[in-house]
Structure 1
Amino acid sequence: MKLNRIISLSITVITLILSTASLASNERRIDIDSKVITQHKANINGQRFTYTVATGTQPVWDDKDNAVATLQYTYYTRDKVDDNTTRPLLISFNGGPGSASVWMHLAYTGPRVLKIDDEGYPIQPYGVKNNPYSVLDVADIVYVNPVNTGYSRVLENDKGELPTKAKQKELFFGVNADIKYLAEWLNTFVNRAERWRSPKFLIGESYGTTRVSGLAHELQNSQWMYINGVVLVSPTDIGIKRDGPIKAANRLPYFAATAWYHKTLKTDLQAKDLDELLPEVEQFTINELIPALAKGGFIAADEKHRIIKKMADYAGLSEKFVKQNNLDIPTQFFWKELLRDRGQTVGRLDSRYLGIDKRDAGESPDYWAELTSWLHSFTPAINHYLRDELNYKTDVKYNLFGNVHPWDRTGNNTGENLRLAMAQNPYLNVMIQSGYFDGATNYFDAKYTLWQLDPSGKMKDRLSFKGYRSGHMMYLRHADLKRSNNDLRDFILKALPKEAQAAKY
């Protein structure tokens, strides 16, 4: 009898253990520290070579050396490189904030890109194809997903509890918190990858430009890691103010580019090439529109009428519409108004894309035509690519857009910090890449940011701008995929110091 009780008790204990183990194994969570290695072949820029991909996760530690999050990354290295001390490392971030690194990873710089048509529209079956223009021929690349994007996640403590929302915001979700923890994470990554002696470049897109502008300074001043170049793709304001008349006027060149693309300009302007038209509109914006807007309600009637007519001509809009908006046309009004007579709206991030609304009346589009188009192709491609080609398998959801809000935008001095990083480091160069049809971070704002980044003009030989006939993600258009990668390749190679060239003024 006693023996039967012992056996029964033992069975119960074993059952509980198995049940607990089963529950644990069924929990959906990402490995805190992991790596999967795969081998691949490429034909890029006329060169055939093999490369290795490390897909994995690496912890974020707090100031007490506890793991508080884990970041998922994908790291590409060219094989048979005898000495990586001269081979650049390109560190890539996207923006949002709250956006994964998928966009530039699978559409711009990586060796595999989306299956899309030559203008960037989705086609089925979804998937990826070889990218013959990738910069992997000249630089190794790591794509980093910040907390809550991709497979990156906040971690529970030893009691199984997540940090409070306030604590998470303090650690991760703000301009300066984001820069601080990512700089620490990169220090660990560079250590593990043994890349301290390699030239390093940062590339960020959209809010990612705020991120990498701040990182250039933080890495130099807190991690003592010096950068050779920073690339700002479709940049935000990076803390450089563009308020009042500047903000309103700077939209006009973008309006003109979009109107030209959709052929809504008057015959004489429409006949001009975009490269001829835009400098003309830029000069009008700087020399006439900004001063006119600065005068506000006290502008002379004849001058106001002349400015209204020129604006209407350049923007492809009616004089009545420009007058009704007091020369200050909100972008959402423009997206709705430009093709209203055709019953179509234009996209926000890329105004080549067209949408249709429930009503032609109204002040803004029902949805962003370009974003819905992009999600068509990006979502299946990244999930297929990571799982089936890179062999990184998890049931954790890949967040193209993660929950990082409310985001703390206070204390954004990233533009000034980038200037200071450049001043401290004679090796550091900066390039901006922008699409002319981007209405979210318009190209003329980007030029203005470039001009204001170093008011002294002493470092302007290390600052450059490249424009493209596409939108926010200019690389989705095949012609610009080739051109933008070539511009990036040239920038990287030119930013490398010559042998024995010292970092000094």
Structure 2
Amino acid sequence: MIRLMTAALGAVLLATTVQAQENSGGDIPEPRVYESTGQVNANGTRVRYTVTAGETYLRDADGNPTASIFSTTYIADGHADPRTRPVAFVFNGGPGSASLWLHMGMFGPQRVALPNVQDDGAAPYNIVENTHSILDVADLVFVDPVGTGWSRPLGESEGDDFWGVNEDGESLAQFIRIWLTEHRRWNSPKYLLGESYGTLRIGSLLNQLEGSYNDVAINGVALISTVLDFRYDDTSEGNDIGYVGLLPGFAATAWYHNQVDRSAWNNDLEAFLAEARTFAIEEYMPALMHGVTLPADRQARVVRELSRFTGLSEDFLTRANMRVSLRRFQRELMRDEGVSVGRLDARFTGVEVDGVGEDPETDPSFYGIDGSYTAAMLDYFTRTLGVDMTEFYTVIGGVRGWNWDAGRSGNNNYINVAPWIARAMRQNSDLKVLVAQGYYDLATPFFAAELMFNQPGFDQDRVQFRYYEAGHMMYLHEPSLEASTADVRALIAN
């Protein structure tokens, strides 16, 4: 253990020393780039490709480097005409997460195969050819924003210059423009694929790319585990709509763990969730709006229905004033069994030592997978792609002090980038939107996304929802991996 801690500390100190030299105005080395070739059987097609993993420098108006963006680009062989070969830029979330999850879980040529939904255990992990990769229909660019992976500020720049809704969008829009120029792909069909905060990033990117006369028009976006308007899943005091956005996700979780009477819906999950949606909008939301003026008999009826859908006791729901936060639900649903359910993926459960605690110890659906993805990504970089960078690789959590302002007035507002997507759709008749949601995702609930896209401004004919019996990272579930990659492939291939 001491040896491992010493090695990790050495890597962090090396990375800190390199960044300190760069930020002090010292000589900035040339970008490091690693090229190799490979092949993958993607959707039944043998695709040979060139992969470029390396750094791209962002620059200020005077040409001085401001940041290094690490990305991994896959260019398939045999496509000479850029007009017929799409390119997709892929981001994960956080904010502050590198792109390893979608890279090694969903779209890249290799992926982690996890046999146990509860725990990835320890190395060695099973890394296999990803036959579900979408390299058959698009070239891929996996991008790590500043503060994630090996991406970092340079020169006089600080992390704060890049850590915010607008700041992040500006820097990644610059990267995309540089990439399109260097690869001569301005006339290629272009797609943005993002997961979690990566979906909010897509909203910001569309504002940066299509919100001025210097347009980069986008053909389509895939919003994987969507969060664009935080009102619909935030249960801060006074925001009752957040409880409504969460309710059908709570119901799906209770169904999965057999905490509701499935026979009442003939064991039909879709019918159950359809009724949960209707209850949430037509009965639950009006009851919350009434507040303390809600008649006692009506409250009792709503509480009974809440219990029927969520598996929580009527007594608990009454004492909670019919308002159950996500963390309370995670802890309460299976308290009698001594476990809490996951936030990112409610199929996961974690043992709770404190039998009366209000909140879960941590998220079992994150610690159940993080070791495997980190090891798989770095093993792939170092052994397969030949990347020999020794600086600390930041999987998640490398950013701080995120600027959520995004042009809002005051401080008591919820971030909402949905209007930027709606505007882009109005001004770009080719822009299509795929919304991919896992039923058991409590971090970015499927019903919250539905409520948001039901608002005026979107061209509903170009918004397509797809659902999977999985969580936030639906690719952890093999049938959902197959279905979700097929849906993204269809978005790109029309």
Across the aligned residues of Structure 1 and Structure 2, the Cα RMSD in angstroms comes to 2.0
Following the alignment from structure 1 to structure 2, what is the Cα–Cα distance between the partners of residues 256 and 32?
Answer: 53
Using the TM superposition, give the Cα deviation of residue 217 of structure 1 relative to its aligned residue in structure 2, in angstroms. Answer: 2.5
2:475 is matched with 475
Listed as ranges, the gaps of 5+ residues in structure 1 are 1-23, 158-162, 495-505
Letter in 1 for 2:190: K
How many residues align? The count is 459
Comparing 25-34 with 459-468, which one deviates more in the overlay?
Answer: 25-34
Partner of 1:133: 132
How many angstroms does 1:221 deviate by? 3.1
Which residue identity is paired with 2:31?
A: D
Match of 2:224 among 223, 233, 237: 233
- Within the candidate set 445, 449, 452, 2:452 is matched to 449
Match of 2:396 among 387, 392, 401: 401
Q: Name 1:217's counterpart in structure 2.
A: 207
Q: 1:127 to 1:260 in 2, by over 3 A?
A: same
Matched, 1:177 2:177: no
Secondary structure at the residue paired with 1:125? coil
Q: Deviations over 1:425-472 (max 9, x none)?
A: 1011111111111111111101112212xx056x11001111111111
Structure 2 counterpart SS, 1:202: strand
Superposed displacement of residue 168, structure 1: 3.5
Q: In structure 2, do the counterparts of structure 1 residues 238 and 180 end up closer, same or farther at CA, with 3 Å as the change threshold?
A: farther
* SS class of match (2:200): helix
Q: Given the two structures, how large is their TM-score scaled by the length of structure 1?
A: 0.87
CA distance in 2, matches of 1:493, 1:66: 39
Which residue number in structure 2 is paired with residue 17 of structure 1?
Answer: none
Q: Partner of 2:410 in structure 1?
A: none
Output the amino acid matched with 2:88: L
Structure 2, unpaired ranges of 5+: 1-13, 20-27, 407-414
- 8 Å CA contact retained: 1:31, 1:57: no
Secondary structure (helix, strand or coil) at the match of 1:100 reads coil
CA 1:118–1:136: 2 relative to 1, 3 Å: farther
The answer (yes or no) to whether the contact 2:117–2:348 under 8 Å persists in 1 is: no
Counterpart of 1:371 in structure 2 is 366
**Residue identity matched to 1:74:** T
Q: Which residue of 1 aligns with 2:334?
A: 339
Q: Compare 213-222 and 142-151 and name the one that shifted more.
A: 213-222
2:286 pairs with 1:286: no
1:309, distance to aligned residue in structure 2 (A): 0.2
TM-score relative to the length of structure 2: 0.89
Question: Does the C-alpha gap of structure 1 residues 175 and 47 become closer, same or farther in structure 2, counting only changes over 3 Å?
Answer: same
Do the aligned partners of 2:196 and 2:225 also contact (CA within 8 Å) in 1? yes
Aligned CA distance change for structure 1 residues 103 and 32 (closer, same or farther; 3 Å): farther
Contact 1:240 1:415 in 2 (8 A): no
Q: Distance in 1 between matches of 2:86 and 2:186?
A: 11
> In 2, are the aligned partners of 1:120 and 1:477 still within 8 Å (CA)?
no
Q: CA deviation at 1:269?
A: 3.7
Instruction: Quote the residue 2:194 is aligned against.
Output: 204
State which structure, 1 or 2, has the greater radius of gyration over its C-alpha atoms. 1
Match of 1:276, SS state, is: helix
Retained in 2: the 8 A contact 1:175–1:408? yes
Q: How does 1:98-137 map to 2 (within 5 A)?
A: 98-117=96-115, 119=117, 121-122=119-120, 124-137=123-136
How far apart are the structure 1 equivalents of 2:207 and 2:331? 40
Cα distance change, pair 306–415 in 1 and its aligned pair in 2 (3 A):
same
CA deviation digits over 1:391-426, x for unaligned, max 9?
A: 111111111014221001012452111111111110
Asked if the contact 1:335–1:365 (Cα under 8 Å) also holds between the matched residues in 2, the reply is yes
Deviates more, 1:294-303 or 1:411-420: 411-420
Identity among equivalent positions (%) equals 36
Q: Distance in 1 between matches of 2:262 and 2:398?
A: 47
> 1:426: which partner in 2?
429
User: How far apart are the structure 1 equivalents of 2:169 and 2:18?
Assistant: 28
Letter of the 2:486 counterpart: N
Question: Could you say which residue in structure 2 is the equivalent of 1:439?
Answer: 442
Amino acid at match of 2:444: T
- CA distance in 2: counterparts of 1:265 and 1:363, whole angstroms: 22
Aligned residue for 2:171, secondary structure, equals: helix
Give the counterpart letter for 2:124 in structure 1: P
SS in 2 for 1:85: helix
The match for 2:263 is 268
